[in-house]
Amino acid sequence: MVEIAEIAVSAAELKLGTEPVAGASVTLSHAAPRARYSLRARDAKVLSDVIGRALPGRIGDQADGAICLGPDEWYAILPEGTAMPRGEGLPVSVTDISSRALGLVLEGPGALGVLSSGCPLDLGKMAVGRATRTVFETVEIIVWREAEDRWHVEVWRSFATWLWNAFLAAIPGAHG
């Protein structure tokens, strides 16, 4: 007879924390609720005129919460409730995706080490204010270096519980 041992942790037991967790040199917390928009256009000028905001032209640059993800794609992280014109009839796409993702914040001198435990980019070389889509292990994230030691991480809701716990596991001295 084969004995089947229970695995140590099942996904059902993982919990998405609600309160900030502090380790020795890094704090993990939720970002404030935000409005999020996916912005697409071949011509950035047309899109910029529609939404009445400047859009960064270089991939990885960020201006007032609008991140240039690709040649025709921007991701805007704005204060909760921010409305946007849709540009009906114009060759642009302005889509409200506020509920699709959560923002997690890693802050402190140890934050870079926590992110680097699962992200293959050389994040230490990332300039403050830059942002990019990338992965943490196999989960897609958007990383935005808000300050030298403050990182805003966007993750799809369905992956947030896993990511929260992956961060916890990488924070020295943290207890979730």
Partner 1 sequence: MLLIHCPYCEEARPEVEFVYGGEAHIARPLDPSTYSDEQWEEFLYIRSNPRGRHHERWRHTHGCGRFFNAVRDTVTDVFETTYKAGEARK
* Residue 52 lies near partner 1 (rule: CB under 8 A): no
Cα angle, residue 41 at apex, residues 135 and 146 outer, rounded to 5°: 40
**Interface with partner 1 includes 60 (CB under 8 A)?**
yes
Closest distance to partner 1 from the beta carbon of 95 (Å): 15
Helix (H, G, I), strand (E, B) or coil at 123: helix
CA distances to 4, 25, 78, 105 from 28, rounded to whole Å, are: 36, 10, 21, 6
Within positions 82 to 101, which residues make up the interface with partner 1, using CB under 8 A? none
Nearer to partner 1 (CB atom), residue 71 or residue 81? 71
Q: Is there binding between residue 140 and partner 1 (CB under 8 A)?
A: yes
> What is the Cα 78 distance to its own chain's centre?
13
Q: How far is the CB of 150 from partner 1 (least distance, A)?
A: 22
For residue 39, the one-letter residue type is L
Beta strand ranges found along the chain (DSSP E) = 21-22, 27-30, 34-41, 62-63, 66-70, 73-79, 92-96, 101-107, 131-136, 139-147, 150-156
By CB under 8 A, residue 70 contacts partner 1: yes
Are the beta carbons of 166 and 174 closer than 8 angstroms? no
User: 139 or 168, CB closer to partner 1?
Assistant: 139
Stretch of 77-85, 100-108, 132-140, 155-163 contacting partner 1, by CB under 8 A: 132-140
Under the binding rule (CB under 8 A), the answer on residue 29 touching partner 1 is no
Positions that interact with partner 1 (CB under 8 A): 59-60, 69-71, 73, 120-121, 132-135, 138, 140
